[in-house]
Chains A and B, each alone.
Chain A
Amino acid sequence: MKTMKPFVLWVIIFIPFILLSCKDDNVDNTKPTINLIKPDQNQIFNIGDEICLEAELSDDIALKSYKVDIHNNFDHHEHNKQSNAFNYNNNWDISGNKNTSIHQHIDIPEDATPGNYHFMIYCTDMSGNETHVARDIEIVNPL
């Protein structure tokens, strides 16, 4: 057993290092949640109408901000000539809230190119935790 002594020694030396560093400090590592009610997946919108955004955002500590990003998802081989695809990128401050409901209308400009688009909503909390949700939408010429 004499030979095992150093082994035991080093195990003992090593353990405090782990205990020292494992203390729990209640760090906020929980992401905010996004409950995206509108738009629906594959929802179709007319050019000139507006996209209705409805969502519930919440966080266990405090929300910070959210961002909406809409960009096209055209067939990538043809749209070189498309110059006026509809792009939308905006963000809002909701600092301090734990829960919030958002309801917004985003205009689709008259010169928007019809096609498939991606709708994305991002949300952060005060600690920098981030969540996002994506939807596919389609923009068409009105009948």
Chain B
Amino acid sequence: MKRIWFLFSIIYSCIVFAQHDSIALRNLDEVSIVEDRGNSHIQKIISPNIIVNDSFIINRYDGNLFKTLNKIPGISSMDIGSGFSKPNIRGMGFDRIVLVENGIKHYGQEWGVDHGLEIDAFKIKNINIVKGAYSLLYGSGAIGGVIIVEESPPSQENNIFGEFISLFSSANTKFGESLQLGFQKDNFLVKIRYTQQNYSDYKIPTDSIIYLTRSIPIYNNRLKNTAGYEKDIDLYFRYSTKNWISIMQISNAKQKNGLFPGAHGIPSINRVLDDGNYWGIDLPYNSVNHFKLLFSNTYLFEKQYIEWNLGFQNNLREEFSPFNTHYIGIQPPEINPNKELGFDLNTISNTLKMNYFNGIWKHVYGIDMNFKLNKTNGYSFLLPEYKEFSTGVFFITNIDISDRININYGVRYDYCAISIDSYFDNYLKEYLILMAYKDSIVDYYSYRTKDVNKNYYNSSYSIGLDYKINNKNRLKINIGKSFRVPNANELASNGVHHASFRHERGNNNLEPEKGWQINLDYIYKNKSLEINISPFYYYFSNFIFLQPTGLWSLLPDAGQVYEYRGSQAILIGTELSLNYLFSNNFRLTLASDYIFTHNLSDKLPLNFSPQSKILLNLSKNIKRIHLYIETEKIFSQYMVARNEESTKGALLFNCGYSHYLKIKKQDIHITLSINNILNKRYMNHMSFYRKIEIPEQGRNIQAIIKIPFNINN
């Protein structure tokens, strides 16, 4: 197989390829000071990062934003059907990654395997992905990395502008449209964007799957009830004077998607029968609405500027599933009888940063405050109601010692108080009584969680060196300590999560997660060749993950109970990317990553370890046309945690064609692409449906047309 793959790569290197315009391997500190002042919220940090622009997202779009980013070394996606994905950076996902928009962290229910991130892919101009901890600036959650959504800087002149994007995707017959309109008049800028995507049940190259040792048929290669939609609206105001910038952003992202009924609750073949309705969203399904109000201000003085960001967010996530597929023989609730879970999370964030600079050094002092309030409802219990207040103070300095050497260091101190409410589960009580358990057992289990009040204090620090050895070689080293406060679900969840198909229990004795990281980043660059190697070594003195307890769960369809526990762990890996421009406009890009994970108490790997991959892309630019052919080798994952299944690798072929047309001054950007040309049946080790052996989507033909327009006055 290896030989065949090698052969293919040689054959392909003889054909066409170019992702030149797409991935810019850029370092954060190359962001100019003007940009830094006005628009971005980036402080210099010496950590490996990648900036992806909108043309990469359009040219390589693969169903959703984070699946598209999967092509970048070090980034993997955890897919939830075909509509949504969760990002994973160097083996760390869920609450270990932060999404930042306008200086404010995105707060949803990231802990869930089946919870995607709520953001409109088309509104993104640039996305800056920091690999490795960025705790100094973003605190607890940024232990694994940060995804920063960057706005495009406003143009210099008054104009009316906008764009229209239309998308079609064959694997789930997705139709998407996005329309943006805006105008800029002197100091004032306003823009509005509406995006809508609708998709049907997605196609998979298989006719049966295995759930609870039972073969469940898949009719017509369509995964029943996985249709869904996404509707996003975004309103953006910007007012600027010579030394003052004020931005207000109001956005709402709504998503609704069906869940495969064969894998929800007790399996039943009746529920997966083909009903001919590929577009309907039946039970079970989940819906989420994320509302955001962000307010950002920057005041410029002569040698300093102050940034103040304020945000309010509401994340409402609801899951509906027939009551009786979970509890048998009990009267369902009268109101909303099929509402299984409801989480209503409100967050207020406030960040204040003071930046002082001269030509050589730059200091940043900051304070960060967040208040979270989570309410729950539904007949089932997973996550308790809680209140959380967290605050951190930090200080970061950058010094340009010479033209070639830059040093960066910083410290941060955090405090977090969390208060979790107890929950008594009447439905579980009835169920346990029905099962004729003893009163003491019924009482003990019906308290899904008791009151928990915890206070956490922690410090993080980091030091980095950026050394431009000569014109071609550059080396960056970053060493730091970071931490993460346990989440409410790690402290006090209790129940069978259908996403993981097991009984998961929180542990209110958890200590914060603590890790030491070493990141290296070596860049070699000459006219035609660019090499980037980023090895990393993470050691966690406490890493929180689910471990089997050996105790049987009393809940239906659950094996043993899994509990969140801390353990020492290491994660080691590297990314390698290589970009070679041949003389005749051919470009060869190689992108690859590898991660080794290990928990030192069990001497076993951690779960959800990403599969290694090698991407070989050959592209060519012919005037306004960009063509590429790509092979994607995904390696098998045999590094598995206890009771986790290993996943076989796959070899995929993709190709694409982009045309930047110009018809009478009007730009039109057309993209056609085919992913998984051979319709290969393969699984993603980290996907939501992996546990029930549902493969990833098959061949996917996509067409995107993007029409930007601009009228100058």
Asked if B683 is an interface residue, CB under 8 A from chain A, the answer is no
B213 touches A18 (CB 8 A): no
CB pair B554–A128 under 8 Å, yes or no, is no
Hey, which chain B residues are within 8 Å of A85, CB to CB?
A: 328-329
The answer to whether B531 and A7 touch across the interface, beta carbons within 8 angstroms, is yes
Q: Sort chain B's interface into a size bin.
A: 35 or more
Residue B322 interfacial (CB < 8 Å): yes
- Known contacts A71-B556, A124-B550, A127-B642: A82-B268 contact under CB 8 Å: no
Are A10 and B535 in contact, CB atoms less than 8 angstroms apart?
yes
In the complex, chain B residues whose CB is within 8 Å of the CB of A128: 547-550, 560, 642-643
Contact B550 A87 (CB under 8 A): no
Known: A118-B266, A133-B213. A10 touches B598 (CB 8 A): no
The answer on a CB contact under 8 Å between B574 and A7 is: no
Interface of A is mostly: mixed
Whether B596 contacts A91 by the Cβ 8 Å rule is no
- Interface residues as binary, B562-601 with A (CB distance below 8 Å gives 1, 0 otherwise): 0000000010101000000000000000000000101000
Whether a CB of chain B sits under 8 angstroms from the CB of A101 is no
Given A21-B596, A27-B604, A132-B559; A64-B550 close (CB under 8 Å): yes
Interface pair B266/A71, CB less than 8 Å apart:
yes
Q: Which of A3, A6, A21, A83 lies in contact with B598, CB distance below 8 A? A: A21
Cβ-defined partner of B524 (8 Å) among A7, A72, A75, A80:
A7
Determine if B268 and A73 form an interchain contact, defined as CB atoms under 8 angstroms apart: yes
Shortest C-beta distance, A23 to chain B (Å), equals: 9
Q: Which residue of B lies closest to A84 (CB)?
A: B329
- By a CB distance below 8 angstroms, the chain A residues around B640 are 29
Whether A7 pairs with B533 at a CB distance below 8 angstroms is yes
Least CB distance, B501 to chain A, in whole angstroms: 10
A16 CB, nearest partner CB in chain B, Å: 10
Q: Is the CB of A29 within 8 A of B604?
A: yes
Would you call A106 an interface residue if the criterion is a C-beta within 8 Å of the partner chain's C-beta atoms?
Answer: no
Q: Closest chain A residue to B502 by CB distance?
A: A130
- Sorting the interface of chain A by its residue count into under 10, 10 to 19, 20 to 34 or 35 or more gives 35 or more
**Complex Cα–Cα for A128 and B547 (A):** 9
Which chain A residues border B642 with CB–CB below 8 Å? Answer: 29, 127-129
A65 to B561, CA, bound (A): 13
With A3-B473, A3-B524, A130-B548 known as contacts, the answer to whether A21 contacts B533 (CB < 8 A) is: no
**Given A6-B475, A27-B602, A85-B328: A130 and B270 within 8 A (CB)?**
no
Which residue of chain B has its CB nearest to the CB of A128? B548
Known contacts A76-B268, A122-B552; A6 and B560 CB within 8 A of each other? no
Are the CB atoms of B572 and A130 closer together than 8 Å? no
Q: What residues of B have a CB within 8 angstroms of the CB of A133 in the complex? A: 213
Q: What string of 1s and 0s marks CB contacts (under 8 Å) between B326-352 and chain A?
A: 001101100000000000000000000
Given A7-B522, A14-B574, A132-B213, verify A75-B643 contact (CB < 8 Å).
Answer: no
Encode A61-99 as 1/0 by CB contact (under 8 A) with B.
000110101011111100110111101010100000000
For this complex, 17 residue pairs linking A to B, each with C-beta atoms less than 8 Å apart, are: A27-B604, A67-B552, A69-B556, A71-B328, A71-B556, A75-B270, A76-B271, A79-B324, A91-B552, A120-B212, A122-B559, A128-B547, A128-B549, A128-B560, A129-B642, A134-B213, A134-B267
